[in-house]
């Protein structure tokens, strides 16, 4: 009997912490879009230019379109100077004035965190230097995202150790803020499933969804293929034998491979269901931090894929973030945005939002 009681106590101690971010924040994390170029590929690092990059009218247009949060990608290398960090903090406060919650995404471009201790220290320094400024304007609605798409191939423990260090650093400055975590393997569902949740009740967990990449990115991982042919791929695949084929052998093989997988709504829903099951098992709250499909893809397949993913996420109770506002995987708004950007009505419809 004593042994059973001891085992019971050990199980309670080992059980996951119930992650319960504030409901007021969660109510603002249903429909989001990433702003990808403002502090990631700026044409100028002049703080005065950065301050004018996105007009207020464009921000308010996002809110009117039905988005309730944005994910602001910031390359830490660009924000190593205090003037750019101040411009980024001001941008976040301005977005908040339009009733948009803000995920602040640490999004380095060419760092090698897996192998370079200096890059790991630069990331820690970014958060130590930048996090205090996030308290300037309603920190309850500002969510630091420790890192975009950590790779750490076949090393989930290495990523988990670094993520724990970053979480600890952030907690020293932002003890009451919700923090966004993720798994290794480019922040994929596979990486999420390998992650052991943190012993912290005020966190969210993110995964990115671009399955299948042969469709959504036109197999960008494979050079030398005919992208115009790949852009003809269908979604859903209703008849693999009738799939269009490319004009060269390698492209035709890739298209044949894609169609043989018979991707459809059921396959998408089943893949997302594995992430939802992980969240239920660990009492965690999930966010789809990125999803999108290339503008070059034929409109019917692109709209159907975006709609299917969005509906599957909503059915699973998972908020979503389109990549991105100013990127070819989403709306493709010019950089910098005009005063009144036109949001692609087909994308809006696929997202379940009214025409702009």
* pLDDT tens digits, one per residue of 291-315: 999 999 999 999 999 999 999 999 9
- % of the chain at pLDDT higher than 70: 94
pLDDT at position 34: 98
Of the chain, the percentage scoring pLDDT greater than 90 comes to 90
Write phi, then psi, for 103 (nearest 5 degrees).
-90, 125
pLDDT score recorded for residue 7: 33
3-state helix, strand, coil in the chain (%, to 5): 45, 15, 40
87-112 tens-digit pLDDT: 999 999 999 999 999 999 999 999 99
* pLDDT tens per residue across span 252-295: 999 999 999 999 999 999 999 999 999 999 999 999 999 999 99
> Mean pLDDT across the stretch 162-180?
97
Is the confidence at residue 141, as pLDDT, over 60?
Answer: yes
Tell me if 293 sits within 8 A of 215, measured CB to CB.
yes
The ranges assigned to domains in the chain are: 22-211+264-350
Q: What number is the average pLDDT over the span 7-20?
A: 47
> Of the candidates 331, 321, 245, 311, which has an alpha carbon nearest to the alpha carbon of residue 286?
321
Contact between 84 and 48 under an 8 Å Cβ cutoff? The reply is no
For residue 4, pLDDT over 80 is answered with: no
> Model confidence at 247, in pLDDT bands (50, 70, 90)?
confident
Taking residues 6-34, report their average pLDDT: 71
pLDDT higher than threshold 90 for residue 342: yes
Section 238-248 average pLDDT: 90
A 10 A CB-CB count for 322 gives 26
d(CA 231, CA 257): 15
Which tokens is 32 given? 């989001």
**Does the pLDDT at position 236 exceed 90?**
yes
Taking residues 109-129, what's their average pLDDT?
A: 97
Residue 207's pLDDT is 98
Residue with tokens 């247009």: 61
Q: Stretch 208-227: mean pLDDT, rounded?
A: 97
CATH fold for domain 22-211+264-350: TIM Barrel (3.20.20)
Closest CA to 147 of 192, 187, 193: 187
Q: Which pLDDT band, with edges at 50, 70 and 90, does 3 fall under?
A: very low
Mean pLDDT (the chain) is 93
What three-state secondary structure class fits 125? helix
DSSP state of 16: P
DSSP-assigned beta bridge partners for residue 319 = 287
Residue 135: pLDDT band (50, 70, 90) is confident
CA 193 from centre of chain: 16
What pLDDT is stored for residue 1 in this prediction?
41
């Amino acid at each position: 009997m004593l042994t059973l009681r001891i085992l019971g106590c050990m199980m309670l101690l080992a059980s996951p912490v119930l992650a319960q971010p504030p409901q007021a924040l969660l109510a603002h994390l249903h429909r989001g879009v990433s702003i990808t170029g403002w502090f990631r590929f700026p044409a100028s690092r002049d703080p005065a230019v950065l301050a004018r990059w996105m007009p207020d009218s464009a921000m308010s247009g996002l809110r009117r379109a039905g988005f309730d949060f944005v994910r602001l990608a910031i390359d830490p290398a660009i924000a190593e100077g205090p003037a750019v960090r101040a411009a980024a903090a001001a941008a976040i406060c301005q977005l908040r004035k339009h009733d948009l919650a803000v995920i602040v995404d640490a999004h380095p471009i060419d760092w090698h965190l897996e192998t370079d201790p200096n890059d790991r220290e630069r990331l820690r320094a970014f958060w130590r230097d930048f996090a205090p400024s996030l308290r300037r304007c309603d920190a309850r609605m500002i969510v630091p995202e420790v890192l975009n798409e950590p790779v750490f191939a076949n090393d989930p423990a290495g990523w988990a150790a670094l993520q724990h260090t970053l979480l600890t650093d952030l907690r020293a400055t932002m003890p009451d803020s919700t923090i966004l975590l993720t798994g290794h393997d480019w922040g994929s569902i596979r990486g999420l499933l390998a992650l052991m949740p943190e012993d912290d009740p005020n966190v969210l967990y993110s995964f990115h969804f671009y399955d299948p990449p042969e469709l959504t990115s036109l197999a960008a991982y494979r050079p030398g293929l005919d992208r115009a042919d790949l852009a003809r791929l269908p979604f859903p695949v209703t008849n693999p034998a009738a799939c269009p084929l490319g004009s060269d052998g390698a492209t035709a093989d890739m298209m044949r491979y894609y169609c043989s997988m018979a991707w459809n709504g059921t396959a998408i829903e089943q893949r997302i269901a594995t992430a939802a099951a992980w969240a239920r098992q660990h009492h965690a709250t999930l966010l789809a931090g990125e999803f999108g499909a290339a503008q070059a893809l034929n409109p019917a397949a692109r709209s159907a894929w975006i709609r299917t993913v969005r509906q599957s996420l909503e059915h699973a109770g998972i908020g979503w973030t389109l990549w991105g506002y100013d990127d070819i995987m989403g709306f493709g708004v010019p950089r910098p945005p005009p005063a009144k950007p036109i949001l692609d009505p087909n994308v809006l419809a696929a997202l379940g939002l009214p025409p702009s």
